[in-house]
Amino acid sequence: MRGILYIILGIFVTTILMPMLLIYSCDISTPTTDEIIIDGKSANIRVYIKETQEIKEIELEEYVKGVVSSEMPAAFDFEALKAQAIAARTKALYQKQQYGDAGKPNHPGAEVCNDVHCQVFRDIQQLEDIKGANWMRDYWPKIEEAVEETRGMVATYQGQLIDPLYHSTSGGRTENSEDVFTAMAPYLRSVDSPYESASNHLEDSLVITTNQFISKIQSRYKDSGLSTNNIVDSLEILERSEGGRVTKMKVGNTVVSGRDIRDVLGLKSADFKIVISGNQMTFITKGYGHGVGMSQYGADGMAKQGYTYDQILKHYYQGIEIEKFKR
Ligand SMILES: [Zn+2]
């Protein structure tokens, strides 16, 4: 008899009392004052929609959900999705702060666009069209939860929002910002990214003929003097960055950056080596993307090793804090 009473008591505690307490404690921990208020309104992000050339105002957290869904595979570890949510939110608010009412010069009136130029954003209708009903059922709730759990949280360096650059796969080590772009940011330092083995882009290769290479180079660098006769002696990698990307390369009579070569050829990354064999050239690349800031595959790998979202962010963005956004 006493056993049955304990069972009934147990059922009461687990099905009624504990959920009640949980709801009660949630109410305390998420008061409505957590909302990000800018100029008396909750924060909206002005998004330039490239396809229709219009600007849409989207509530910040809804915007973040549409970015996380588009920029990171939803099958990634939950902690990686949370790290991505904070990076996406920080980027939008950083650009909003940076460019003010005028918007970013490439798309006046909007702080972000929905394209890789800023960060990819798709609304819920587009996601359903692109990813399908099964994805919506299986993964959309996970995205929503990752964003909700980090609601209003941003990454700061010495109290200022950071520009949280990120990329797919570093190839083993990320880059110092000034080695890839012009500006030096103290939080965008070259760090090891050891857990990227799940990425398809750790190593890639592009094969083209020497003639194709020469014509692509000639179209951008008319005075390179490159020809089929001198190509083997005319190419030399002169300098690499700390993260392994080519910073200077001799191409005939000119010196170009690895980033330019990446651009001209459409390589996955500027960390490459070249193998010439007969009239065929193979560019073997490491990683995918510019290599600065958070590696998304690296973040997923860290999460699978047990690191939390804040540990992941603090690894890829050195010296930062994670805090609730305040103006
Ligand atoms: Zn943009």
- The pLDDT tens digits of the residues spanning 65-91 come to 999 999 999 999 999 999 999 999 999
Mean pLDDT of 169-187: 95
Lowest mean pLDDT across 16-20, 303-307, 322-326:
16-20
Which pLDDT does position 30 carry in this prediction? 38
Tokens read off for 266:
């459409």
Query: pLDDT tens, 293-308?
Result: 999 999 999 999 999 9
- Residue 165 CA to ligand 1 center (angstroms) comes to 13
Mean pLDDT of 118-130: 97
- pLDDT, mean over the chain: 90
- Residue 115 CA to ligand 1 center (angstroms) comes to 6
- Residue 119 CA to ligand 1 center (angstroms) comes to 7
Buried b / exposed e along 221-244 (16+ C-beta atoms within 10 A): beebebeeeebeebbeeeebbebb
Which pLDDT does position 32 carry in this prediction? 42
Alpha helices in the chain (DSSP H): 2-12, 18-29, 60-71, 78-99, 124-131, 133-138, 140-149, 177-180, 210-220, 231-234, 258-265, 296-304, 309-316
Neighbouring CB atoms inside 10 A of 278's CB total: 7
The residues spanned by each domain of the chain are 38-166+292-324, 203-286
3-state secondary structure of 324: strand
- Residue 117 CA to ligand 1 center (angstroms) comes to 4
Which pLDDT does position 232 carry in this prediction? 87
Which pLDDT does position 237 carry in this prediction? 96
Which pLDDT does position 228 carry in this prediction? 87
- Residue 86 CA to ligand 1 center (angstroms) comes to 18
Which pLDDT does position 13 carry in this prediction? 52
More confident residue, 170 or 14: 170
Would the pTM count as exceeding 0.95? no
CA-wise closest residue to 267 among 250, 251, 291, 286: 286
Quote the CA–CA distance of 175 and 223 in Å, as a whole number: 30
Mean pLDDT of 150-163: 97
Which pLDDT does position 143 carry in this prediction? 98
CA-wise closest residue to 165 among 54, 316, 279: 316
Query: pLDDT tens, 183-241?
Result: 999 999 999 999 999 999 999 999 999 999 999 999 999 889 999 889 989 999 999 99
Mean pLDDT of 29-58: 74
- Residue 90 CA to ligand 1 center (angstroms) comes to 15
- Residue 163 CA to ligand 1 center (angstroms) comes to 14
Measure CA 279 to chain center: 37
